[in-house]
Amino acid sequence: MSWTRRLLVVLAALAVALLAAPAAQAHEERPVTLPDGTGSVPVYRTGEPDLLVCKSDRADFERRISGFPDALRDRNLKLFERCLKSGYRHLQQAVDAVGRPGMNIAILPGLYEEEPSRPRPAGECARLKAPDSKLGYQILTYAQQKRCPHNQNLVAILGKKNLQIEGTGAERTDVVIDATYQKLNAIRADGSDGIYFRNFTAQRTTFNSLYVLAQDGFVIDDVLTRWNDEYGFLTFASDHGLYKNCESYGNGDSGIYPGSASDINDGYGYEVPRYSIEITGCRSHHNMVGYSGTAGDSVYVHDNEFDHNMGGASMDSAFPGHPGLPQNHARFERNLIHDNNADYYPYVADGTCAKPPVDRGYENGVVCPQISMPPGTGIITAGGNWNLYENNWIYGQQRAAFFLTAVPAFIRGENALSEQTDTSHHNRYADNHLGTDKAGNSRPNRTDVWWDGQGEGNCWQSDTGPSSPRALPTCGSERGAVSGRTDRLVGEPVKLAQLLVCADYNVQARRLPAGCDWYGARGIERIEVQVALAVAVVLALVGGVLWWRRLRGSGLATAATVLGAIGLGLDVAGSTTGLTSSCLPALALLLMGVWWTVTGLVLRGERPWLGWTTVVLGALTLLDAVDKAVFMIPWIPLSPAWVRGLLGVIWVVWAVVAAARHGERGEVSGVDTAAYPAPGPRPSPEPAPGSRPAPEGGAS
């Protein structure tokens, strides 16, 4: 890295550090390492189960299976008779009875609240020494989980290999494992390579319904999770995983969360040997976000539906303690991502989310958002690299189809200078169906792209609709080909200010940042409008005084000042349009650029240094207009907006000094300034012929 680029990295990192929000609370787990990758995706096993789980109420059981097809009802009746004789009444009892790898557990239709697992920890388990997470639960070691499996888990599956657990109902809701908000996790599978879950429902926890941790090989097949404080499905630090035909809703974070998926493709480009986790045929809806993954690396997500959440899908590098950061190599194909316009923040504002979970009304549609999330967004990438988004249907979002922003490395706890700008690179958005559903009906997104501008090698398809910025690097026909390649070290200043304000959210403290439209701010309440208005007022005052004191004799300068005033007004008006595509910001920059350029040319005769500085400021403003509206200028490390803003601060101070200075003014571009005498003491008149001058210090 050259010394000039290193200096720019330092300046960019400092700028981002000043604007970056503190890391939000998220999933915290004991230190784990990623699997070595020697495992494989388990295969579903047919045949008779080794162990059975059922309840003993025959009448209730027969009522539950009465509508089943004949063959399935007969099978369940036979299994029920066997279970009454040699089976178990609770899933945990059957798990504890597993004595070898490769066993199958069948759960018969019923409601399983796992009563023996529910009591609060007592004795030694009540006195475990472990750090507390930011959310208050203890971060236990694996040994502590083994010693006290029900401190946090309704059902704990620890170290069981190649275990298959399957419901025998006609639908996944026929078998329900219910934590009733008494445990952190309904089912935890930890260090249990090769586990296979199929055909049941898990629900109502204070964190996750189904949690898979540190495993090489798992399948989640036709499982429903719902009504959790955080996640429906959480798989963490795992490899060779498959989600298929699943469903999740009513979760305060995401329905599907493949966090810290095995980072097997780090160092590759778009073409990779394999993916660590595959997600297909699932639907995730009415959550804060349908899919999310901090360090969601090497995940293949295809043929799913993410709808009616606040956000459709997100991946990020924003939280420390996740192996595999920064996030890289997710691949999204053929997904339906639509109508993600829910707004659950009012439940935080009105105190609903401050109640105990059991009283919040999750079952009636309440969701308590756990982190800051821009409602109305299709796919959010907050600090990811080498992600592919191709051939998806993305429509009906009231904010943006795609939302891309960088995240500096210190947010994830890494302070090396060379890593501070290592995210938001080589994300490809191509061949997607934007604003159109599968039937071809028009369902436009309010904006197709919102991008902070940072990163190298990002590109978008050429048919994107409204976007911010209006001009985007476009993808070539081959992966890796980019037209208008950019390499910005830091994002646009106003957008970073917006992200700073919006990220200052805390569900526990009921803190919804003022000034952010994510939480309902409108008009002058929004930080973008406030910034634009403040800048306009300062420049209008300084520019007006400078014109009055120094330039009002010049018709050219007067005309330029009028254009500048119009430009400032358009800039404020443009900021109020929010995400909608508008030419106002670029037109505003064009007019302000003309104002500064002409003013500088007129001023240079009287004050050369200030004049030429003003010309440079005008040129930078015109360049910024081109950058935002025509094409992003390639290969420059900072947006013209940053240089323009810094020079603008200097210019304001300099212009104030120049306008305030007393004394005679010379000619300005041929204008006779004698007609506009400078303020100050008037010269004494010439003495009349024959008179004597008055002596100094007294009257004549």
| 232-258 per-position pLDDT tens digit | 999 999 999 999 999 999 999 999 999
* CA pair distance 190, 203, nearest whole angstrom: 19
Task: Please give the angle made by the CA atoms of 581, 583 and 586, to the nearest 5 degrees.
Answer: 120
Say what the pLDDT of residue 580 is.
56
What values do phi and psi take at 499, rounded to 5? -65, -40
Is residue 1's pLDDT more than 70?
no
SS3 at position 397: coil
Say what the pLDDT of residue 166 is.
98
- The answer to whether 471 touches 630, Cβ cutoff 8 Å, is yes
Is residue 599's pLDDT more than 90?
yes
Say what the pLDDT of residue 591 is.
97
Say what the pLDDT of residue 485 is.
82
Is residue 184's pLDDT more than 60?
yes
Q: Is 670 exposed, middle or buried (0-12, 13-18, 19+ CB in 10 A)?
A: exposed
Say what the pLDDT of residue 582 is.
64
Amino acid of residue 511: R
Q: How confident is the model at residue 677 (pLDDT cuts 50, 70, 90)?
A: very low
Q: How confident is the model at residue 21 (pLDDT cuts 50, 70, 90)?
A: very low
Is residue 577's pLDDT more than 80?
no
Token code pair at residue 547: 């014109």
Mean pLDDT, range 683-700, rounded to an integer? 44
DSSP character for 88?
B
Say what the pLDDT of residue 581 is.
53
Mean pLDDT, range 562-589, rounded to an integer? 86
Interstrand relation of 449-451 and 393-395 (parallel, antiparallel or unpaired): unpaired
Is residue 2's pLDDT more than 90?
no
Mean pLDDT over the full length of the chain: 91
Q: Is 693 exposed, middle or buried (0-12, 13-18, 19+ CB in 10 A)?
A: exposed
Is residue 160's pLDDT more than 80?
yes
Say what the pLDDT of residue 674 is.
37
Distances in whole angstroms, Cα of residue 93 to Cα of each of 107, 499, 554: 12, 49, 91
Is residue 292's pLDDT more than 70?
yes
Mean pLDDT, range 549-560, rounded to an integer? 94
- The answer to whether 567 touches 588, Cβ cutoff 8 Å, is yes
Task: Please give the angle made by the CA atoms of 95, 232 and 197, to the nearest 5 degrees.
Answer: 35
Q: Give pTM, 2 decimals.
A: 0.91
Is residue 687's pLDDT more than 60?
no
pLDDT in tens, 504-513: 999 999 999 9
Greater confidence (631 vs 108) lies with 108
Mean pLDDT, range 203-208, rounded to an integer? 98
